[in-house]
Structure 1
Amino acid sequence: MRRCPLCFNDHCQLFFENRKRCLYHCNQCELVFADASSHLPPNAETQKYRLANNKSKLLSQFMFDLVSQCETGEQALLGLNFGRTLDPKSLQRVTKRGHQINQYDPSIAPWNRELKQQYDFICCYRVFEHFRFPKKEWGLLCELIKPGGWIAINTPLLTDHTGFDKWHHKNNLTHVSFYKQKSFEYLADKVGFKLLFAANDLILVQKPSGSGITRDQTSIVDRDF
């Protein structure tokens, strides 16, 4: 038996196994997750993560679309690019519109000042699949987003159990968490956030304006992706 790293359910079953690792399925939040014994050593994981961090054009478009949706014309926005980094040219395009984007890359800095303030929006482009402890990371994101703010997540959703063995997304060993729609419904319901599923693997989550979830300056959340 394995404990789900998202909802802490102890009743998880073996879902998939090959020569490299075993994956388990949670029957409560529907997360499919890799056995911790198969997680790559930190140095190897960081190396693979940096080599795979080549989605600059896709990330840039994702960020521009997010900024456009969040703009009200009334005030400058403060956003966080969580888990990856925009190239300087793309970052400048956003700042020219009067907004500020802070960037947090865990492969460079496990803890820094970008995680000590709140944001109008948070961009999570292809990072949720790297979360070894998604419950902790989700808790951090809930604290970092301002009431009324949006968290934009891009991660391939698991929709077909029968075709999992042929799903290329699982072959990257730094991908250790695979989500179904129910997984995000579970996360949103636990904190009372609004949840929208859009096209192209886009999940939008909004923190209610009256939410009591605030940044706890004394809390420390382990960064393990």
Structure 2
Amino acid sequence: MPPPAIAFARSAAYAAAMTAAQSSCPLCSGSARPYHRDARRDYLQCESCDLVFVPPYQHLDVAAARAFYDTHENVLDDPGYRRFLARLFEPMTQRLTPGASGLDFGCGPAPALAAMFAEAGFAMRIYDPLFAPDTAALEQTYDFITSSEVFEHLAAPGTEIARLLGLLRPGGWIGVMTKRVRGHDAFAQWHYIRDPTHVCFFADATFRFIAERHGLDLEFAGPDVALLRKPAS
């Protein structure tokens, strides 16, 4: 068995090789450069869209991710959780017409946001690959789509965003809640990167890139809320 120093050197070399081999941006396929490294993971930043992401070989597998999600304690009727979700709920409802239909994408085990919209008179469907895997919900179109604390978990955000836009009717809105990158120094101290299921980190520039690529209108409704509107025609 090799001495520990040699084992570590091989591990570091393996990590560098794997990171280099999997450095294509999962949002736009652009080239990426090293951005940050901590004791657990590497973080790369796309040179085209500014997305910061963890290389795929460092992602948790499905079973480990599910086990971590199961430690969360979100409750459908918890007032504190609903106040948190109101940061997305309130600006979205201000832009919707009465009777609009929506999809909560990545609803988790306690679909409180969908319940809030339903209580406000909107027809809602939910989808989550682990907790509500009803693929029929992905076979119809909607006036609006919400996704709260989901985008940071996406291994293939480019594919998922394109899929959501395909489910959105002309003139419809996508409301995204995810905390945004504010610079390298802040990133290094950020609690958000300590969640092992968080693998993609969006900046303001990333959302501007998404809006330009897909011809969407973009509004920032808060430090962690972005609203994207599909053209009416």
* Amino acid aligned to 1:169: Y
Q: Which has the higher helix share?
A: 2
Structure 1 residues 94 and 31 mapped into 2: Cα distance closer, same or farther (>3 Å)?
A: closer
Structure 1 residues 77 and 44 mapped into 2: Cα distance closer, same or farther (>3 Å)?
A: same
Equivalent position of 1:32 in the other structure: 52
Contact kept in structure 1, 2:82 and 2:112, CA below 8 Å: no
- The structure whose Rg is larger is 2
| Alpha-carbon distance in structure 1 between the residues aligned to 2:134 and 2:195 | 25
RMSD value over aligned CA atoms? Answer: 2.2
Structure 1 residues 50 and 106 mapped into 2: Cα distance closer, same or farther (>3 Å)?
A: farther
Contact kept in structure 1, 2:87 and 2:225, CA below 8 Å: no
| Alpha-carbon distance in structure 1 between the residues aligned to 2:140 and 2:164 | 11
Q: Does 1:77 align with 2:97?
A: no
User: TM (normalized to structure 1)?
Assistant: 0.83
* Amino acid aligned to 1:8: S
- Structure 1 runs (4+) greater than 4 angstroms displaced: 85-93
Per the alignment, in what secondary structure is the counterpart of residue 71 of structure 2? helix
* Matched ranges for 1:39-78 at <5 A: 39-52=59-72, 54=74, 56-58=81-83, 60-62=85-87, 64-66=89-91, 68-73=93-98, 76-78=99-101
Structure 1 residues 178 and 97 mapped into 2: Cα distance closer, same or farther (>3 Å)?
A: closer
Q: Deviations over 1:127-166 (max 9, x none)?
A: 0100111100111111111110110111111012122111
Structure 1 residues 182 and 99 mapped into 2: Cα distance closer, same or farther (>3 Å)?
A: same
Question: What count of residue pairs does the alignment treat as equivalent?
Answer: 207
| Alpha-carbon distance in structure 2 between the residues aligned to 1:88 and 1:135 | 24
* Amino acid aligned to 2:220: F
C-alpha displacement at 1:35, in angstroms? 1.3
Equivalent position of 1:17 in the other structure: 37
Structure 1 residues 97 and 17 mapped into 2: Cα distance closer, same or farther (>3 Å)?
A: closer
Equivalent position of 1:216 in the other structure: none
- Structure 1 unaligned regions, length at least 5: 211-225
Q: Does 1:4 align with 2:36?
A: no
Q: Deviations over 1:39-65 (max 9, x none)?
A: 001101012123336274246524642
- Structure 2 unaligned regions, length at least 5: 1-19, 76-80
Percent of matched pairs sharing the same residue: 32
Equivalent position of 1:179 in the other structure: 202
Q: Deviations over 1:170-189 (max 9, x none)?
A: 00010000011111111111
> Higher relative contact order by CA 8 Å / sep ≥ 6: 1 or 2?
1
Out of 139, 149, 154, which is 1:116 matched to?
Answer: 139
| Alpha-carbon distance in structure 2 between the residues aligned to 1:205 and 1:152 | 6
C-alpha displacement at 1:117, in angstroms? 0.7
Contact kept in structure 2, 1:59 and 1:125, CA below 8 Å: no
